[in-house]
Structure 1
Amino acid sequence: MANVVPGKSSYLAQSNALLRKNLTYQKRNKCQNCCLFVFPVVILGLLTIMNNYLQHLQEAKQNLLPPILNPPEMPPAIQIPIDQDLPNPNCRINSSCSASFLFTAYNQSFAQGVVDDMFPTPTSVNSSDLLTHLVLGTPSMSDNKNVSHEESRLYYLQQKCYKNSSIFVPIELDCMEGLTLWRNSTSKIHDELIIGDSRTNNNEEKEFAGAFDLQNSDNQNFNVIVWYKTVKDEQSSPQMQADVISLLNMVSIAFLRFVRGADAQISVEFFKDMPKSIDLNLPHLVTLMSTLLFIWIIVWLFPVMLQALVYEKQEKLRMMMKMHGLSDGAYWTISYGYFALVSIIYMLCFVAFGSLLGLGFFTMNALTIQLVFYFVYANLQVSLAFLASELFSNVKTASVVGYLLVFVTGLLGNFLFLNLLETPFFPRIWVTVLELFPGFSLFRGLYELQQYALEGITVDNGGMKWQDLNDPNNGMKEVVIIMFLEWLLTLFLAYYVDRVSISGCWWKKASSSARQPTLSSHESQISFQTEKTDVIQQRETVEQLTLEATASHAIVCNNIRKVYAARDGNPPKVAVKGMYLALPQTGCFGMLGPNGAGKTSFISMMIGLTKPTSGSAFINGLDMSTNMDEIYSMMGVCPQHDLLWETLTGREHLLFYGRLKNLKGAALMEAVEESLKNLNLFCGGVADKQAGKYSGGMKRRLSVAISLIGDPKVVFMDEPSTGLDPASRNSLWNVVKHAKQHRAIVLTTHSMEEAEALCDRLGIFVDGSLQCIADAKELKARYGGTLVFTLTSTAEHCTEVEEMVMSLSPNAHKTYHLAGTLKFELPKHGTRIADIFEAVEDAKKRFPVHAWGLTDTTLEDVFIKVARAT
């Protein structure tokens, strides 16, 4: 490895490294990115094709349906209900209900005189009155029936109807009495009319033919307001025009008769529409569909960003970057900025392409309003993705929830929120409350743009302008403010939750004395008494170093303890039982132990993947409870499982982590090339292959190279040689041997050969605690002290073999017996190797000896003995 001392990387260096990595990573995912940006283009293209088709269809139908040049004449009949319940509900029984009209004025006596002359008496009927007082009776105003409906009948309004009274003109007209009812104010009239409208299809409803407000009218002035009832979505129907004309004509004639006498008359013979062409408005369907389609297009980005963020969390890549020195500030600046930039470019392409296609939704409304609206929502969506990523640990789950949210948001907006928005009786305050849901805020803004675009189709200089935001009925300003405030709030929450969940501050929480679980004094005394001499010395060394607070040792662990909480009815699991460890600035320390002994739990605590239950630790004199960011800048990690980006190459991984370690220019390229060569990742184009195509052994070698690049002062390697062939393992050993001369390395392994070859000191870890700590020779001398004698003969001569061994040493101990093979441990003291050779040569004369061997104690023997003795 290149012997460089780069020091801690700056914020700009970290940002540059992460930005380069992100751009390279996205370049590898170009197919996915192309699909992402093509999606809105395809939707807008289909809308344009549909718009052109409908326009062509409209032109074709207009050619088939010529314009109406001479509309027909229509009588000015008033449409009124015939089942009113005023003044007496019993009128329905004998069909004698009156046509009820409400009226009010400042001068009640004058108004009463006017309305008293509104309906003719049976003796004063003339042809002009027939046209003025012609009404169309329907079963109910709310039944939405028109003049030609078979259940409707024509009536003639009179002051009084007598039994079997009717008028014979070219058609027979039944009589209907007209009734005028005084109300004290216009507000009371308004309330009664509203009540009548909101209680449709109810036998107790109160329906009125119309209402009049004569305001300041007197003998010299005629000032009147007419209320009339219309059916929703038929505001321009001919019947509505008839209602207005007839009611105005009726009250006007009554005023003239009151002021000028009974002979005064203004009659309306008929009314007719203006000549017009038939407009089917089919292309408007595209604009009406835009809200639902566009909300799906815009929210489509959310699950894409969510997947990317959860992937880093699931694969622990975010933690891997942090362990190699990436600060939270640099990560958030680049990651948030990257997603925000992608979102804004996406929105710009969306608006630009829609405008180029000539869709009214984009061309009618002010471009700057659209850009501000999309900019605010794009940032809100990015911050929501960061916050939502904290809720998921699996990419598949996040994807399903994300795309389901896209689908549901569009449907709820179009079929629930839209109905509430267009209902005049739904409180506006609750509309604002619903807009706190970001999807409804987006829908409201798109809805406003849609409505102004529809208006712009029929009105010159239409569409939304900045001055339109002052209109109280325009919700665009409201939703932009709501989304802006939510953007700031969710951004703060996402950053805070991220810091709590992943930053080094977990050591602060774990180190709080109030929360540290401790052993009882009795348990501590027993634990101390059962420790071996070397473990006790290690503990005393750690306690002394903790008091001195010096940086003479690379790693100092003071009573680190890890307890996993009880789960599924099982008791709490103590993984690490008070680890005391002091390692010098250079050298390799090997941790041996059976599976489940707690080695990986200890490594995970030291590199920040999990938090300790109690204890403290120091790296190069820096307290892990307060200086984790500085510690990460001098740490290298090779985790048990390879944490790699599948689409990045080996070279790109090393370039990224080298930049995080503040390597630049020629020093960076030299370190990368040397790492690739030393770990056999250079030849055959392996360095430029994507990591997802690597074998397991190649991934392990790359992980080791990542842990050593940038000259870290402390390196943790968790089973680095797993899955390596002998040649690759030998290359890795050479790299580690060279690296340990300049740094402290903590290595876990199951290979005794590897432990002897690499480690200056070894610690055997059993059942969560250190049982011994020394170099390999000292351990073999302490726990060995025996020779291992193995001999294979026939099964019937096993007794003779045992007698021979016992004659060599009465303290011999048989450790293995299978068929004709026996293994014995002979104490070195009092046993001569020459005697063993002579005994074997003599035994060959008495019984067959197929094979035999004499070996010294191996590290594997020591490991097995320590593990069994615990």
Structure 2
Amino acid sequence: MEASAAAAASRPPSFATQTNALLRKNLIFQKRNGKATIRLILIPIFLCLLLSVLQRVINNLLDQPRFRCGCKCVDANGTGACQNVCGIQYSTVDQARSCPIQNPTEWPALLQLPRPEYRAVHDPSSVFTGLPDASCRKSESCPAIVPFTGANETISNAIMKNLFTSSTLSNLSHLASVSNVLLGTDVRGASTGFIEPAFVSDQPIYVIRPQCKSSDSDILITVDATDDQKEIKCVQGLPLWRNSSTTINEETFQGYRNGKKGEGIYEITMGYDFQESNEKFLNVLALYNSSYQNNSFIPTLPFGLRRVSRSLNVVSNAYLQFLLGPGAEMLLKFIKEMPKHSTRQAFEFSTAVGPLFFEWVVALLFPVMLTYLVYEKQHKLRTMMKMHGLGDGPYWIINYSYFLILSTLYLVMFVLFGSLIGLNFFKMNDYSIQFVFFFSFINLQIVLSFLAATLFTKVNTAQAIAYVYIFGSGFMAGALIHNFIEGEFPRHWITVLEIIPAFSLYRGLYELGQYAIRASATGYPGMRWGDLNDRNNGMKDVLIIIVLEWLVLLPIAYYFDHASSAGHKSSPLSMIKCVLNKKATSRRINANAIVNEDIHVELEMIDIIKEREVVDKILQQRSSGYAIVCDDLKKLYHGKDGNPDKFAVRGVSLALPYGECLGILGPNGAGKSSFISMMIGLTKPTSGNAFVEDFNIQTDMENIYNNMGVCPQNDMLWEMLTGREHLQFYGRLKNLNGSSLDLAVEESLRSVNLLHGGAPDKQVRTYSGGMQRRLSVAISLIGDAKV
């Protein structure tokens, strides 16, 4: 049995053997760590409950009488009998939102104007021509600028001459009489068309004319819906020719860039590009500043309606008059909202805060996985496993699978429980879309964890930076992605931003939230697969970006992880630095080696010279027959801040036959640890080479580990595993199994006096320092290592 065990241990462990050993160890570790895992999976349930409680509190507040449609007892028949009548006319401002509106008010279509203090004026640093002097802002007499262009300047000018009305205003008295007059306002539009804010605000309504006359002032009209008098002022409309649509676009956004964000500052009224229009057909492009409507402070509220219907109507009339004369026109008498049934006021809190809040919930797994990987790196556990024959492939498969299962359970619990308690964010949207989106992203997040783990050596540093990343990137994504989408930022630039994983996650959650809001408000279904073909839906782009990033980063992360775990390279950054400094370093090494050889050659003892001669003879043979052969092995540490270079190991030549026991003696700093670190692959030699079992330590460390047992200078143990479980894990990596494994474990424990007092089945964290040292020795001896 011992002979068969020794033969098995001498063979390199197969892929399946390594996977089986690591899987068994991880299952034991997770069983001991089960409470923490359960707490992690329960976090989304707790967060969903919190959202549900807040949602119910808000709904209860909105269900109070002050938010229900107002009612009043009215003597409808004149008999003194009281009849309860409800409606907007009996409601407060808070109550009116829930009332039915069977016949919405008809409002004149208005043109959106810049406020008087922001209208475009001449700027010496600007290339835009024809603009008035800036002094008109003080007197609030600046005209409404309308830049235009087209392939045919003559026709474009002829059309624009008919843009503004010059008819008399004396017959204006009610709203119904202003449909033929071009009116504008500088008041923001409402989120619905039930009320036109321009007619209920204190700001005047402007009539836009080619030139303002004295008779155009002090005009009052009656607003039928409120019986209030509304003042009408005149403002000059000033068309200005521009050479291209690009110039108009630049001019349109000039004020927004120069103004203060959030105040809706813009300077240009409207822009038109007549393109190839002629006497036979009209093909006009209307340009306006959509960023004016951006609501940066309450991102989830609907934006104000954009007043573009009058802009299109007035340019159509101008074209008709260009063709047929002044009497031709296309009437736009009014605009009105669709009728509305009675509703119960509600605020979808979970959907409103969803994108940012849910992004943090999903990204919370990133620091958890990163901590796990960096912990094994910080405590050299990954190195210890590698020394006992564990390859990168099995390590990745087992840990990747564990992270994937954990993340999937985490998000399934999140979506499932959120749906059960009624969160519309999950209920309204197709579950298969949610699964594909979340599953794709957690795969990308796992790869990012492996990639980020190569950059850190300390758990605390990794955790701190990970949490700063997920919260900081969440805020940035919420600010940029949301504003760019609603501000109609160029789509390709939004796609570029979504290459950042946190931004793509936010965009996907944002789309799910928007469809849930729409479904809650209108009764339409949430996001379905067919909606991904909608140009305004960014989910399709997000899914493509996430999958492509996963495919690209997976081999990159594997490569960097392999390089950083190889022993002599700690991170991708050090690898790059090593490549950049390789040439200069080699020159310094050679120079120092020559100098030091000249100094010490006469001081070498005879036995050292003889050992070097023996090594030279051995290296000339194809098979040395020696356990270890060291050939002029050196380790040089370069001085920093002006300090000289220091040799830690100065040219060790050594040949050790099988069965020999070598002890290395020397004071602190003599190079003992540095020599052993090079032999076991923790550090790379500066020059020279060594062979273990005829395998080169520069290129064949994986084969060397199959025949080597290492007791590290510092204990590399899992605190939550027992001594027996440690030996079983490393024994399996040495191809031991069944009774052979049990016998080897018993013998190892007995050999270091850990077989009594229940020590084998106690967790290592309960061991004393001496017991941990003995367990490390037992681990190094299990499997009948040749070296």
Please confirm whether the aligned pair reaches a TM-score higher than 0.5, indicating the same fold: yes
Question: How far apart are residue 300 of structure 1 and its match?
Answer: 0.9
Q: What SS class does the counterpart of residue 653 from structure 2 fall into?
A: strand
Number of positions where the alignment pairs a residue of Structure 1 with one of Structure 2: 708
Which residue is 1:372 aligned to? 436
Matches within 5 A, 1:157-168: 161-162=213-214
Question: Which TM-score applies when normalising by structure 1?
Answer: 0.69
* Cα distance in structure 2, aligned partners of 1:439 and 1:173: 51
Contact map agreement 2:354 2:513 (CA 8 A) in 1? yes
1:419 match: 483
Task: Give the alignment partner of residue 54 of structure 1, picking from 58, 62, 65.
Answer: 58
Matches within 5 A, 1:361-510: 361-424=425-488, 426-503=489-566
What is the deviation of 1:672?
0.8
Identify the residue that residue 766 of structure 2 maps to in structure 1: 693
Q: CA deviation at 1:661?
A: 0.4
Change (3 A) 1:187 1:693: same
Q: 2:415 aligns with which of 351, 359, 376?
A: 351
State the 1:182 CA deviation.
Answer: 9.8
Q: Give the SS at the match of 1:548.
A: coil
Task: Normalising by structure 2, report the TM-score.
Answer: 0.75
Please give the alpha-carbon distance, in whole angstroms, between the structure 2 residues aligned to 1:533 and 1:254.
108
Q: In 2, are the aligned partners of 1:165 and 1:174 still within 8 Å (CA)?
A: yes
State the alpha-carbon separation in 1 of the partners of residues 235 and 391 from structure 2: 87
1:845 match: none
User: What residue number does 2:648 align with?
Assistant: 575
1:15-69, Cα deviation, whole Å (9 max, x unpaired): 1111111121122222321222122221122122222333333333226636255
Residue 226 of structure 1 deviates from its aligned partner by 9.8
Aligned runs of 1:295-334 on 2, under 5 Å? 295-334=359-398
1:614 to 676, 687, 705: 687
| Aligned residue number for residue 10 of structure 1 | 14
Alpha-carbon shift at residue 127 of structure 1 (Å): 8.4
Confirm or deny: 8 A CA contact 2:22 2:398 kept in the other structure. yes
* Deviation (angstroms), 1:351: 2.6
For the residue of structure 2 that corresponds to 1:588, the secondary structure is coil
Matches within 5 A, 1:547-696: 547-696=620-769
Q: Is the 8 A contact 1:133 1:157 kept in 2?
A: no
Counterpart of 1:303, as a letter, is: P
Kindly provide the CA deviation profile for residues 531-590 of structure 1, in whole angstroms up to 9, marking residues without a partner as x: 444434333322222222334222222222222222354322222222222222114222
Q: Secondary structure at the match of 1:684?
A: coil
Letter in 1 for 2:756: C
Amino acid in structure 2 at the alignment position of 1:394: K
Q: Secondary structure at the match of 1:574?
A: strand
State the secondary structure of the residue aligned to 1:23: helix
Which 10-residue stretch deviates more, 663-672 or 172-181?
A: 172-181
The answer as to whether partners of 1:79 and 1:239 remain within 8 angstroms in 2 is: no
Give how far 1:678 is off: 2.7
Given that 1:104 and 1:185 are in contact with CA atoms closer than 8 Å, whether structure 2 keeps it comes out as yes
Give 2:574's aligned residue: none
> Cα distance 1:549–1:51, how it changes in 2: closer, same or farther (>3 A)?
same
1:104-115 matches, within 5 Å, as none
Structure with the larger RCO, 1 or 2 (CA within 8 Å, 6+ apart): 2
Change in CA separation of 1:385 and 1:464 when aligned onto 2, cut-off 3 Å: same
CA RMSD across the alignment: 5.1
Which deviations, in whole Å up to 9, do the C-alpha atoms of 1:798-837 show, x marking residues without a partner? xxxxxxxxxxxxxxxxxxxxxxxxxxxxxxxxxxxxxxxx
Residue 434 of structure 1 aligns with an amino acid whose one-letter code is L
> Is contact 1:98–1:176 with CA below 8 Å preserved after alignment?
no
> Which residue number in structure 2 is paired with residue 861 of structure 1?
none
Alignment pair present for 1:282 and 2:347: yes
| 8 Å Cα contact 2:632/2:652 also seen in 1 | yes
Q: 5 Å matches for 1:763-782?
A: none
- Distance in structure 2 (CA, Å) of the matches to 1:531 and 1:517: 20
Question: Does structure 1 residue 67 correspond to structure 2 residue 119?
Answer: no
Q: Structure 1 residue 376: deviation in Å?
A: 2.2
1:141·1:207 contact (CA, 8 Å) conserved in 2? no
**SS at the partner of 2:651?**
strand
What's the CA shift for 1:366? 2.4
Gaps of 5+ in 2: 71-94, 121-129, 191-195, 223-228, 296-300, 570-577
| Contact 2:220–2:231 (8 Å) recurs in 1 | yes
Consecutive unaligned residues of structure 1, counting only runs of 5 or more, are 715-870
Match runs of 1:170-249 below 5 Å:
176=234, 194=252, 198=256, 208=269, 232=293
Quote the offset at 1:323 in angstroms.
Answer: 1.2
| Most deviating of 458-467 and 572-581 | 458-467
After superposition, the Cα gap between the structure-2 partners of 1:276 and 1:540, relative to the gap in structure 1 and judged at 3 Å, is same
- Residues 488, 141 of structure 1: CA spacing in aligned structure 2 closer, same or farther, 3 A cutoff? closer
2:532·2:539 contact (CA, 8 Å) conserved in 1?
yes
Distance 1:279 1:557, change over 3 A: same
Amino acid at match of 1:491: L
State the one-letter code of the partner of 1:311.
Y
In the alignment, which residue of structure 1 is the partner of 2:198? Answer: 146
- The answer as to whether partners of 2:627 and 2:694 remain within 8 angstroms in 1 is yes
Between stretches 538-547 and 683-692, larger displacement belongs to: 538-547
* Separation of aligned partners in 1, 2:518 and 2:409: 29
* Deviation string, structure 1 residues 246-305 (Cα, Å, up to 9, x no partner): 99699989989x98998999996997874653664412x321211111111111111111
- Aligned-partner Cα distance in 2 for 1:409–1:204: 28
CA contact (8 A) 2:204 2:232 kept: no
CA distance in 1, matches of 2:625, 2:319: 111
In structure 2, how many angstroms separate the alpha carbons of the residues matched to 1:429 and 1:264?
40
Q: Percent identity at matched positions?
A: 40
Distance in 2 between the 1:222 and 1:67 partners? 43
Q: In structure 2, what residue type is equivalent to 1:466?
A: W
Report the CA distance shift for 1:162/1:292 in structure 2 as closer, same or farther (over 3 A). closer
Q: Aligned partners of 1:353, 1:149: CA distance in 2, in Å?
A: 46
Contact 2:634 2:651 in 1 (8 A): yes
Q: Note if contact 2:143-2:238 (Cα within 8 Å) is conserved in structure 1.
A: no
Q: What secondary structure sits across from 1:560 in the alignment? A: strand
Q: Is the 8 A contact 2:109 2:335 kept in 1?
A: no
The 1:363–1:197 alpha-carbon spacing in structure 2 relative to 1, beyond 3 Å, is: farther
Higher fraction of strand:
1
Q: Which moved more, 1:455-464 or 1:606-615?
A: 455-464
